[in-house]
Every structure is written in C-alpha cells, then in structure tokens.
Amino acid sequence: MKRIIVAGGGAAGFMSAFHAKRPDTEVTVLEAQEKPGKKLLATGSGKCNLTYASREPVLSYRGTGQDFTEAALQTFDQERTVQFFEELGMLMHEKNGGVYPYTDQAQTVQTLFLDVLRERGVKIKTRERIIDILPQKKGGFFVKTEGWQYEADVVILACGSKAAQTLGGCEDGYHLAEKLGHPVTEIVPALVPLKTKEAAFHALAGLRSPAKVTLFLDGKKAAESEGELQWTSYGISGIVVFQVSRFAALGLLEKKNVQISLNLLPQVNRQHLLAIYQKQTNKKAEHLLSGIFPQKLAALLLKQTGYKAGEILQEESFLEILSLVSDLRLTVTGTRSFEYAQVCAGGIDTAFVNAKTMESKKVPGLYFAGEILDVDGACGGYNLQWAWSSGYLAGYYAANDQKGQVEQNA
Ligand SMILES: Cc1cc2nc3c(=O)[nH]c(=O)nc-3n(C[C@H](O)[C@H](O)[C@H](O)COP(=O)(O)OP(=O)(O)OC[C@H]3O[C@@H](n4cnc5c(N)ncnc54)[C@H](O)[C@@H]3O)c2cc1C
C-alpha cells in the first residue's frame, strides 16, 4: 500500500485526497484545526463561489510563472469542476458570473466532500498540526505533528496561505516547504481592502458607489476594475477594489507611489449629463449634484471642488465637477492586514514545481496543491478553481507512479 499524507484539510487537500485514494493507496489528511474546511465554509460570504461560470476560462491568475497554471486549469477545467461536483451529488446554479451550490451554502460543499472522502476510506485527522516533514534516505518521509509521527511514501503539501488567520490561515506551509529546500516568494495580502490618505473621504463610510477603479504605480497604469465600491472609515473596499489590491500591495512593498483613480460615473454618458444640466431651472450646485450622487457624496464633492451650497453652477463649472468625479485621485497608504485578505499574493516559487504533476522538482515524492503556491486568482471563483485543479493533479500523480498523460476518467 502506498501511504499518502495530505498536509492540510482545506479545499485543495480535499480534492487531492479524493483523487489520491485508490484501492492500492492509503490516504490520511492531517488538519491542524478542530474541523477541516474552515476557510471553505466562509467562501463567497458563506455561499461558496466554487468556480467561474464562463466555459471559456478567463485566465485571471498571477504569480511567478505566468503560464504555470495552464496545465492544471486545462486538465481539470471549470467544466470538469462542475461535472465533478454533480457527480458528488450537488446541484449548482450560476449567479453574477460565478457557480454556487444551489443551497447557497458552503456547508453543502464541505459536507459532501467529507462524506465521500470517508466513504472512499480516506482518514481525516484533526488537531494534527504538522511541525516537520523529514525526507528519508531510502525514500519517503517522516511527518511530525505536535503529538505524533507518521510515515509516508508521498506527501501533498496543501496548507494554504497566510490569509484570514481566524479561518486557519498561517505560515506553516511556507516554513515546511522552506525547510525542504523550496524558496518562498514575498507574501502580501490580496483581495483585500485598501487604506487611503484622504481623510475627508473616510466620512463616507457605509456608502456604496458604482466605480471604475484604475490603479497607478509611479504614474503607470497597473490594473483596473469596474463594479461597486464601498467607502470605509479607513479607505475603500468591495470586489472592485479587491481586484486591483494585489498590485497595490506589491507596489507598496516596492516603495512605489500607489494611486487610485476613481471614475464615479463609469457607465454614464457625459452628453446625457449635460442634457440633464441644461433642463434644470434650478442650477444651484447642491441641487445639481444631489440628483446625481448620494447626499453625503454630493456635499463632499462640492467641498472638494471649492463650490458652495447655493452657488449657481455655470456649464464650465458643472463640467469641471464631472472631470473631477471621472478621475478622483486617492493615495493608497496600505492594505488592511492578512486577517482581512481573502488570499495572498506570493507563496512557494513555482519555478521548482512541475506544472503538469504538481510534484516538487527538488524533493521526489513531495507534491503541492492550492494557495500555498505562488498563484493568486481574481475574485470570482478563481482561487477555489485553482485549489480544485492543482488538487486534482497533485492527488492523481501522488497515487500514480507513471508520469505520462492524465487519464480523462481518473
Ligand atoms: C473570507 C474568504 C472568502 C473567500 N471566498 C472565495 C470564493 O467565494 N471563491 C473562491 O474561489 N475563493 C474564495 N476565497 C479563497 C479560497 O478560500 C482559498 O483560495 C482556498 O480556500 C485555498 O484552498 P487551500 O486548500 O489551498 O487552503 P485552505 O482552504 O486555507 O486550507 C489549508 C488547510 O491547511 C491547514 N493547515 C495549515 N497549516 C497546517 C499544518 N501545519 N498542519 C496541518 N494542517 C495545516 C489549515 O488549517 C487549513 O485548513 C475566500 C477566502 C476567504 C478568506
């Protein structure tokens, strides 16, 4: 019997354990927390956006190797993910470009996975924090936890990232990999709110605005996104901000000048606004702006542009205000901490991992899966899809010695 240890009982650990379990393999998942899949339960605000809806995958992944993700995402693609969960017995539906369990409960994904893993004979041991993985001269490993030592022929490292510590996020995986000779790239929070310098805008906390967000690093456009922005007491948040946040975090790390340009009227035609302006008999500044923006924002914009309530806005002044709201500049001073990040940018350097099998190029018999790797996806099901795709490859190849084509029905 080939003994396979899966280090970490999260999304990638579940997927790799499922595919590693064969009649000729013994698979044990070691999970540090009291329950496996804690982070999975929190995904998609508890609803679990388990993949993206498009059948034409938009490869929104970043990390050291730009094409590292390709083999995994092509082998176990979005369609295959949906098929896999259907075979697990799960009904799904599509919402806002994402795929969710029909129950809209992440718990459905966790329960089905745990049921099927147990049914297959995968052992899941909780409160088993791995503290060391020692390769043996004769091949195989000793896997040391805080209270025990296991022997394994193969180890799949799926300890996740440092994001969201209360949900099991930690640095253990990076340290274990480093001890095994695997370099880890700089880790920064990603899919995370941003702190901004302009305190006047902090007063808008609680307000939401449609916005196109463009990120500039030392004056150069680095990323953009469009959606609903959330104003907060420290800066800006919402998916639209998350999408550009990893670039902001890396820019800050490199001591670059990080600026956000907000277009607060992204879908609105300027001519249309002018036509509305021209129709008004009351051209007082506060009246004109209150028809376009929420009260609090209208008042702030007025203040920012130096106009006063009661002042009559000439067409040029109205146009001046429109120019400001189509390129409102904010200075990014930081990201919120790892605790508030959905994922991390950075992780195990993929240059030393075989993209087709997820096996280490340094330590034979050691595999990786999920967010522990230096791969981060956009918001919208991309990170769980990476956990499923990489977990599949790691599990499949951990169980199979031949390093050829992946069987389609494996
Ligand atoms: C609030 C939130 C919402 C999110 N929503 C979505 C979403 O809707 N869609 C999406 O695609 N992505 C989402 N993500 C990201 C997604 O959850 C992760 O990318 C994904 O869970 C990564 O899977 P993983 O298995 O690599 O890591 P994890 O799910 O973090 O699993 C790793 C496991 O390893 C365990 N572990 C760590 N160290 C040790 C050790 N030393 N010994 C034993 N066990 C250890 C941890 O306790 C953990 O259970 C969200 C993340 C957060 C925080």
* pLDDT, tens digit only, all 410 positions of the chain: 999 999 999 999 999 999 999 999 999 999 999 999 999 999 999 999 999 997 665 558 988 877 999 999 999 999 999 999 999 999 999 998 999 999 999 999 999 999 999 999 999 999 999 999 999 999 999 999 999 999 999 999 999 999 999 999 999 999 999 999 999 999 999 999 999 999 999 999 999 999 999 999 999 999 999 999 999 999 999 999 999 999 999 999 999 999 999 999 998 998 999 999 999 888 899 899 999 999 999 999 988 888 888 899 999 999 999 999 999 999 999 999 999 999 999 999 999 999 999 999 999 999 999 999 999 999 999 999 999 999 999 999 999 964 334 444 34
For 314, residues 6+ apart whose C-beta sits below 8 A from its C-beta are: none
CB 124 near ligand 1, within 6 Å: no
Mutation probe of ligand 1 site: the residue of 39, 100, 192, 336 with most atoms within 8 A of C-beta: 39
Mutation probe of ligand 1 site: the residue of 30, 109, 159 with most atoms within 8 A of C-beta: 159
Predicted local distance difference test score (pLDDT) of residue 110: 97
Atom of ligand 1 nearest to the CA of 159: 34
Q: Which has the closest alpha carbon to 59: 75, 48, 43, 70?
A: 70
Residue 209 β-bridge partners: 229
Compute φ and ψ for 37, nearest 5 degrees.
70, 30
Residue 129 one-letter amino acid: R
Distance between CA atoms of residues 213 and 264, nearest Å: 9
Radius of gyration of the chain (CA): 25
Structure tokens at 21: 């379990």
User: Residue 400 Cα, ligand 1 centroid: separation in angstroms?
Assistant: 26
Predicted local distance difference test score (pLDDT) of residue 410: 42
Structure tokens at 312: 């009559």
Predicted local distance difference test score (pLDDT) of residue 55: 63
Conformation bin of residue 127: beta by default, left when phi > 0, alpha when psi is -120 to 50: left
User: Residue 184 Cα, ligand 1 centroid: separation in angstroms?
Assistant: 18
Distance between CA atoms of residues 97 and 194, nearest Å: 24
User: Residue 37 Cα, ligand 1 centroid: separation in angstroms?
Assistant: 7
Atom of ligand 1 nearest to the CA of 38: 49
Which protein residue's CA is at the shortest distance from atom 37 of ligand 1? 159
Which protein residue's CA is at the shortest distance from atom 10 of ligand 1? 381
Which protein residue's CA is at the shortest distance from atom 31 of ligand 1? 10
User: Residue 270 Cα, ligand 1 centroid: separation in angstroms?
Assistant: 44
Which protein residue's CA is at the shortest distance from atom 4 of ligand 1? 43
CB 162 near ligand 1, within 6 Å: no
Domains of the chain (ranges plus CATH)? 2-188+345-399 (3.50.50.60), 194-335 (no CATH)
Conformation bin of residue 241: beta by default, left when phi > 0, alpha when psi is -120 to 50: alpha
Structure tokens at 335: 């990201």
CB 160 near ligand 1, within 6 Å: yes
Distance between CA atoms of residues 129 and 93, nearest Å: 36
CB 301 near ligand 1, within 6 Å: no
Structure tokens at 31: 């999970």
User: Residue 355 Cα, ligand 1 centroid: separation in angstroms?
Assistant: 21
Strand 328-335 versus strand 258-263 pairing type: antiparallel
Distance between CA atoms of residues 394 and 207, nearest Å: 44
Mutation probe of ligand 1 site: the residue of 38, 43, 192, 338 with most atoms within 8 A of C-beta: 43
Which protein residue's CA is at the shortest distance from atom 29 of ligand 1? 10
Atom of ligand 1 nearest to the CA of 13: 25
